[in-house]
């Protein structure tokens, strides 16, 4: 009997603030894809701009969860990792990828750890080196410019960028191992912002009009919708277009509702448009 395509999403649960699993689960499910979750930690909020958050570490549950799934023959068509809390968690994800990735499945790694030239709270540059090791096992990676610079050892630069700088960065990222890369935060002028898509040496740009507001969790909204679209068998370029459009729609909607950038984006009301873009249930 056929089953619905299934993704294993490995991220933390930040109770409030709409990022990681509270984004990945609804977004990928809306794409018609079954989502298994491996929570790596439970926090009261994400760490971006809040203080006093709780942190319940779940590292010691990760391998036993994977072992249990193995014992009952659960398989995955994709593995999607995001925010990870420690070197040990990265090592566990590496071993899960080795154990569970099958011939026709993919591993999408979002090295969520830095933005705007700075590592997130709790991380240092050694963590970026370790994350680069995980990215080397991935089929697809989705770094922003800061993560890309920190993983390749390049100097982080603010844009506007030149094509030469962007494409040089893509080549350095590809040298880590992944055949497909979606580099976010690319801009050549002040009006447009988008992504560079690297697919086995072929480079394309997906640019959108730049929107005001730097909201938390947009990286997770983008990577989760990209994962969902790829699972719906869209090409990397098409999936990137769908994810970029969805993310911009979420930001536009948020500008009307949420004054606090830490509260995440109002992705909920945009899900019907995402479903339509994917051509689901027609
Ligand atoms: O969206 C990335 C993210 C996920 N999870 C936690 C975070 C962050 C970014 O700061 O703090 C806990």
Are 228 and 267 within 8 A, CB to CB?
Answer: no
Q: Is residue 237 part of a domain?
A: yes
Query: Regarding predicted confidence, which is higher, 94 or 258?
Result: 94
Q: Which residue in 196, 195, 208, 194 sits closest to 171, CA to CA?
A: 196
Q: Is residue 224 part of a domain?
A: yes
> What is the spatial distance between Cα 199 and Cα 182, in angstroms, rounded to a whole number?
9
218 lines ligand 1 (CB under 6 A): no
Q: Is residue 1 part of a domain?
A: no
Q: What is the position in ligand 1's atom list of the atom closest to the CA of 217?
A: 1
Are 236 and 183 within 8 A, CB to CB?
Answer: no
Span 205-245, pLDDT tens digits: 999 999 987 899 999 999 999 999 999 999 999 999 999 99
- Work out how many domains the chain is built from and give that number: 1
Query: Which amino acid residue places its CA nearest to atom 8 of ligand 1?
Result: 46
Q: What is the position in ligand 1's atom list of the atom closest to the CA of 45?
A: 12
Pocket test for ligand 1, best of 11, 12, 224 (most atoms within 8 A of CB): 12
Span 45-69, pLDDT tens digits: 999 999 999 999 999 999 999 999 9
Q: In what order do the strands lie in the sheet containing 180-186?
A: 55-57, 34-45, 6-16, 78-81, 106-109, 140-141, 180-186, 192-199, 202-209
81 lines ligand 1 (CB under 6 A): no
Q: Is residue 215 part of a domain?
A: yes
Name the band, by pLDDT with cuts 50, 70 and 90, for residue 259: confident
pTM, 2 dp: 0.98
Looking up tokens 């009261």 gives: 44
CATH number of the domain that residue 62 is part of:
3.40.1190.20
- How many angstroms does the Cα of residue 223 sit away from the middle of ligand 1? 13
Name the band, by pLDDT with cuts 50, 70 and 90, for residue 1: low
39 lines ligand 1 (CB under 6 A): no
Long-range contacts of 89-95 (CB under 8 A, 24+ apart): 89/40, 89/59, 89/62, 90/130, 90/131, 90/133, 90/134, 92/59, 92/62, 92/63, 92/66, 93/10, 93/62, 93/134, 94/133, 94/134, 94/137, 95/63, 95/66
Which range marks the domain in which residue 156 is found? 6-278
Span 177-203, pLDDT tens digits: 999 999 999 999 999 999 999 999 999
Q: What is the position in ligand 1's atom list of the atom closest to the CA of 48?
A: 10
> Looking at the predicted structure, is the pLDDT value of residue 258 above 80?
no
């Amino acid at each position: 009997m056929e089953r619905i395509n299934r993704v294993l999403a490995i991220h933390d649960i930040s109770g409030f603030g709409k990022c990681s699993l509270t984004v990945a689960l609804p977004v990928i499910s809306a794409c018609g894809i079954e989502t298994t979750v491996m929570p790596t930690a439970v926090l009261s909020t994400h760490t971006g701009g809040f203080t006093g958050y709780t942190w319940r570490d779940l590292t010691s549950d990760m391998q036993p969860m994977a072992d249990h799934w193995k014992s009952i023959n659960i398989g995955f068509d994709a593995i999607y990792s995001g925010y990870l809390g420690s070197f040990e968690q990265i090592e566990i994800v590496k071993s899960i990828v080795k154990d569970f990735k099958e011939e026709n499945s993919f591993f999408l790694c979002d090295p969520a750890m830095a933005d705007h030239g700075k590592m997130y709270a709790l991380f240092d540059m050694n963590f970026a080196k370790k994350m680069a090791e995980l990215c080397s096992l991935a089929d697809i990676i989705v770094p922003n410019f800061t993560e890309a610079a920190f993983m390749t050892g390049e100097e982080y630069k603010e844009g506007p960028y030149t094509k030469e700088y962007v494409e040089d960065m893509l080549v350095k990222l590809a040298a880590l191992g992944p055949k497909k890369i979606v580099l976010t935060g690319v801009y050549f002028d002040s009006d447009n912002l988008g992504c560079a898509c690297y697919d086995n040496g072929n480079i394309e740009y997906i640019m959108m009009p730049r929107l005001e507001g730097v909201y938390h969790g947009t990286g997770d909204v983008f990577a989760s919708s990209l994962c969902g679209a790829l699972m719906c068998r869209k090409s990397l370029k098409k999936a990137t277009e769908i994810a970029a459009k969805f993310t911009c729609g979420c930001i536009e909607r948020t500008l009307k509702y949420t004054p606090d950038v830490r509260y995440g984006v109002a992705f909920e009301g945009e899900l019907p448009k995402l479903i339509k873009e994917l051509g689901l249930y027609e």
